[in-house]
Each structure stands twice: as C-alpha cells, then as structure tokens.
Amino acid sequence: MPTTTGHTTEVDTTAQPDIHRLHSHSIDAIAAQSVDRSSSPSECDSSSSDSETNDTPPTLSEVNFLDNSGGIMVVDTSKSSSICESKAKKRRDGSCCLRLDVTVEEGKEQILRLKCGSVFTWIVDVASFPSKRKAKAARAALKKASKEINDYGFGFKFEELTTQHGKPTFVLRYDNDPPETDILAQAFLPSDIKTNGPPLALLVYPLSFVFLHKPFMWNTFRHEIIHMIGGRHVNCHQGEDDTEIRSVGFGPSNSNSIMAAKGSPRDLVFSKQDIKEIREYMGFPEGRLIEGIPIRDIVI
C-alpha cells in the first residue's frame, strides 16, 4: 500500500497501492465531506463555508496539451531537492494533525511560509518522459490539481508558464529511478526554494502511471503541492520510514487530512478541516508563533 516519506508519495507494491505508504482508509468517509472554494486566492483569508466539490478527474481528451518549445523542452533541474534526511521529533500528545516543516537558520528554528499572493509557475520537461502520451497525462493531472488549489483561495496560486519568457518555479519531470520502488512522486519544501532557488523539480515516477494510480495522479500532485508550501505528513512526527523530520502541529487531530497516510492515491482529497486550517495558516501575520516557533515569509 502507498506511503510517504520525507516529501515524497509512496505506495506498497505488495498490496493494493497506497500513496505515501498509505494505510487503508475508507474513501466513502472522505468523499462525504464538503469543502468551500469561494475565497479569493489573493486575500489570504482564513474563512470557510460548506459548499461541495466534485473530485472526479477529467479524461485526457478534455485537456489540451501544449508543448512549450515546439515539441521538446529541455530544462535544468539539477537543483531539485533530495529526500529529507532529518528525523522527526515525536510529538508528546501523539496527535495526528496538520504538520508544518521546521527549518533552522543561524541556530534558530523557524517555519518558512510563502508570502501571501505568491504564484508558483511550472512547465513540463517533455523530453524527460518516455512518451508524449505520458507527458500529456502528467500535464493534465497537474493542471487539474493547480486549478483546484487556486479555486480554494489559500493565498497562493499555481500556474503553468506557457511562454518562453521567465523562469518557472518548478519543472514537472519524469524520473525512471525513484529512491524506493514504492514512491509515486517527490516534491520540494519552502526551505529548498530559499536555499536553491528556482527552478526546482516535481518528480513523477513510473508507479504513478500504473493502471490503478494513473486516474488519480492529480490527487498525488495536490498532495505534493501541500509539501511545496511547507506541509508535512500528519504522521511525520512519529519518525516515518526512519527519517527524522522536524515539524510542528497545527490544529486538532485530522486523520482525514490530505496529508494523512491512506489506502490509495484516490483517497488523497482535501477535508473540510484541511481547507480551514490552510487558510487560517496563510492568514496569520508573519512572526506568529506555532508551538513556540515563528513563521517567516519568503518570496519565490
């Protein structure tokens, strides 16, 4: 079953796939929840309501594929982040809640957050994919994930860079050599943006294209997007996969979180609590303390 380590999405190839070494979870319980997308992305508003959403992925025929450089796009993704190598401190209360990545700079811990109004731009490295068909499928999935994120009005946006001008924040790139065989995808964290600068890489691995996972690739990508803005797995403080990840908890227990370990990529959907807490987090003033650690804004 799928699982997640660091800021990657994994699955257990010995059983029904999961996404971050996902434990089995009832999709019916998640699908029954409604979410609100009404807020404006530019307001960093923490309000939420109870409108419903449809998580049905589009067919590839519904999405127009645009090759940004006449058929081949070659980009430098050498700055892509590696899997996190730190080990999480176990939270004393053991709760399963939204986790935020903690970094250390000049001996001081901080929570790096993208400044309100930030726009993540992305392109597809078509040449990295084994076929244009797979590149098209991955691009369609990321476009759908980006649209949903934008509709929620979190205070940040994800947009495809459709011209040859400007440097993208990250590149969607196929990688045939995952760190482990059960990993679906791998993203980066705000600390990677600050340390390395763009372009970084969102890596998608072969397992994302198998029959059971491909229709839900957009779910995988929206999970990875939350990593990009500093979110960790809700179980990361328990030392997932023997990697230590320093993080702080925010909000009450939420086993239905999109960042929780579940039974399949199709189960990676936003809960109402996710929507509320991400908006609230983005609405906090810079310097606000969470578990005694300050929020510090960075600019892409």
Give the number of residues written for the chain.
300
Residues paired with 231 in a beta bridge: 100
Residue 185 binned pLDDT confidence (cut-offs 50, 70, 90): very high
Which pLDDT tens digit goes with each residue over 232-284?
988 755 554 445 678 888 778 888 889 986 668 888 999 999 999 999 999 99
Please name the residue that has the structure tokens 């809700």.
234
Q: Which pTM was predicted?
A: 0.71
**For residue 22, pLDDT beyond 50:** no
Average pLDDT over residues 224-235: 91
Residue 44 binned pLDDT confidence (cut-offs 50, 70, 90): low
Q: What are phi and psi of 212, to 5 degrees?
A: -75, -25
Cα angle: 168, vertex 171, 39; to 5 degrees: 65
**In 3D, which of 226, 249, 217 has the Cα closest to residue 19?**
217
Instruction: At 182, list the tokens.
Output: 């059960």
**For residue 189, pLDDT beyond 70:** yes
- pLDDT of res. 165: 75
